[in-house]
Amino acid sequence: MPTRRLTRQLIWQLLLYTLLFGAVVTGLKAALVWRNGQQQMDAIPATVSRLYLPLLSQSAWDVDIPAIQLQLRLIAQIPGVQSVVLRTELGQSLRYDNPEQGGQDNSGQYQLPLRSPHSMEAIGSLQLTVSRQHIYSAMRQEVASATLAFLLGFFGLALLLWLLFNRRLVRPLQGMAEIVRNYQPGMQLPPLLPGQQHGQIDNELSELAQAFRSMSNNISHHLQERQRIENELASHRDQLAGLVTARTRELKQLLSFQQLIAGISTRFINIPLHDIDQATQMALGEIGHFMQVERCYLISFADDWLVNTVHEWCASGIQPTTHALRGQSMLQRSWACQQLQEHGLLSLDNLDALPEHAMLERQELEEHGVQSLFMLRIDHMGRPVGLFGCDMVSHPRQWQGKEQQQARLLGETLANTIIRRQQLQALGLAQQQLHAANADLARMAFSDGLTGIANRRHFDEQLGLCFREARKQGKALSVLQIDIDFFKQFNDSYGHLAGDQCLRQVALCIQAQLPAATDLVARVGGEEFAVLLPGYQATAAATLAEAIRQAVWQLAIAHGRSSAGDRVTISIGVASLQGPPQSEHQLMRDADKALYLAKHRGRNRVETATAHAGTPQGN
């Protein structure tokens, strides 16, 4: 966009204001001329009344026509009077017109009464016609002369102002604008006003130059300050970035450590005893990788610092060493044990930190190539239960406080593994004892206390199971009911101790004749026994019953009061599973009936219950 010259703007504005001022002055002069002319016009009637009206009244009273005409001519020659007319009471009328002002408009009329010189009686009237044309002419002359003088002064002033503005204002401003246009922050500022000393202020331009120079200095100072602040901000930004990076690294490490702790803690929840060694080994490996050590181990104590178990993880190329501690007492290493007892930890950045009296510890560490060592005591319920330690072999290491805190947390976490192992071992031992006790209780609950074979309760349960299975799968099932002949007489003759011995011998003899593990003999009464034979049909069951009878006969237990012979004998009833609707109770009743039949036919014999068609076939 093109710029407008300041000189033109200023001159045009100044001239505009001058024109306005000139117009106002000219208008004021014209108004003054108008006012003076109006005052002159207003003074004409008074002048006529004072100077001419007495003489004109006398001439009219004397009817002196020439004198009247002379007076009218003189009145008409007054400036501004256009015509004058005299009218008498007698009807006479005389008029005189000013030839110089004839035909002019904008006239005014005045009526002046003529009175008698000797009395106040009216004898006529004088009519004056006054024109304002001379006022307008005077106004035009005044405006024309004033305008001409103003225009001459106006153009002279404009030329003078243009020269002064161009020399004293425009050229200095143009020079300053050129310098400002080419100015760059930080560069040396040249003189803004040629010929003016630095710091001198004698007008507004020099004040403007001084202000721009101050602004330049402020800009330079601001740029320097800004550069300094930017440098400081860059330094702070770099420091903050470093802090953020370090903090992020710490947070990631803390997160990894929390995940490690959570993973180890979770892994050992409800873990069985046979998996705890492998889980401990995995946990030590994870800890070793996280702490960036070359050997990591967990030692558990039995009692009095006696090493019970050792779990060890080693980095690639590092030989395991702590397994040699198994079965040894840590109390033998007096200095190390004292540090662990007093401080709960043992931290060695290098072997030079070992005192002179720690000869055994130095020897062992040098033997295993350990250069740095960190060991932590693990306590549970106020007593030491183990040790957690880390070794460095390839180079020494300074253990930081943060690493020691992490090791403490890891040691507390690993303490749960030791306690878990001890609890699981104690639980396993208790479970074994419980199983043994349960087995003893089961034997007591399902066996006869005198003979050691099954009792009536166990026999009834097994009979129900075998009967349902035989019915479901269509298999054979047989039972034997056995009774010792004349056993009451045996007790009466030989005593109850001999009777008990006899019962045990008969029970063992019957049990010895049963060929299959599924066959079951039970004492179901004082001298009564029952045998359960799954899979046996009637013939096979009768054959086995006869073998049992003969085996008891061959025991040759003397019985002098028996009617069946000179020794203890037995009678046997055999019953086998028949077709429906037979039940296990019916099966036992059939065996009882067969036993009753054997006793009725003389004892010491085997009788089989009557078989019906549809009996299941077996072996």
483 and 575 assigned to the same domain: yes
pTM above 0.85, yes or no: no
User: What count of residues does the chain have?
Assistant: 619
411 and 525 assigned to the same domain: no
359 and 414 assigned to the same domain: yes
Distance (Å, whole) CA 373 – CA 347: 6
Q: Which of 259-268, 334-343, 382-391 shows the lowest mean pLDDT across its residues?
A: 259-268
Distance (Å, whole) CA 37 – CA 14: 34
Neighbours of 383 (CB within 10 A): 8
Q: In the sheet where 383-392 sits, what is the strand order? A: 307-314, 295-301, 383-392, 372-380, 345-348
394 and 465 assigned to the same domain: no
Which residue, 124, 139, 154, sits at the end of a domain?
139
DSSP helix/strand/coil, 162:
helix
pLDDT band at 613 (very low <50, low <70, confident <90, very high): very low
290 and 400 assigned to the same domain: yes
pLDDT band at 492 (very low <50, low <70, confident <90, very high): very high
b/e code 433-464 from CB counts within 10 Å (16+ = b): eeeeeeeeeeeeebbbeebebbbeebbbebbe
What are the tens digits of pLDDT across the range 179-236?
777 777 767 766 766 656 565 666 676 777 777 777 877 888 888 888 889 999 999 9
pLDDT band at 607 (very low <50, low <70, confident <90, very high): very high
492 and 547 assigned to the same domain: yes
400 and 536 assigned to the same domain: no
What are the tens digits of pLDDT across the range 321-332?
877 788 888 888
369 and 513 assigned to the same domain: no
Parent domain of 61: 2-139
Q: E-strand spans in 266-382?
A: 295-301, 307-314, 345-348, 372-380
Is residue 243, in this structure, part of any structural domain at all? no
* Residues 530, 458 contacting (CB under 8 angstroms): no
Average pLDDT over residues 134-150: 77
- Comparing C-alpha atoms, which of 541, 524, 518 is closest to residue 608? 541
* Residues 345, 338 contacting (CB under 8 angstroms): no
541 and 401 assigned to the same domain: no
Q: What is the CATH number of the domain that holds 466?
A: 3.30.70.270
pLDDT confidence of residue 459: 92
Which residue, 122, 139, 156, sits at the end of a domain?
139
Give every CB contact of residue 406 below 8 A, 6+ residues apart in sequence: 257, 291
351 and 461 assigned to the same domain: no
Is residue 224, in this structure, part of any structural domain at all? no
Is residue 338, in this structure, part of any structural domain at all? yes
375 and 504 assigned to the same domain: no
Which residue, 139, 167, 182, sits at the end of a domain?
139
pLDDT confidence of residue 368: 85
How many domains is the chain built from? Answer: 3
471 and 408 assigned to the same domain: no
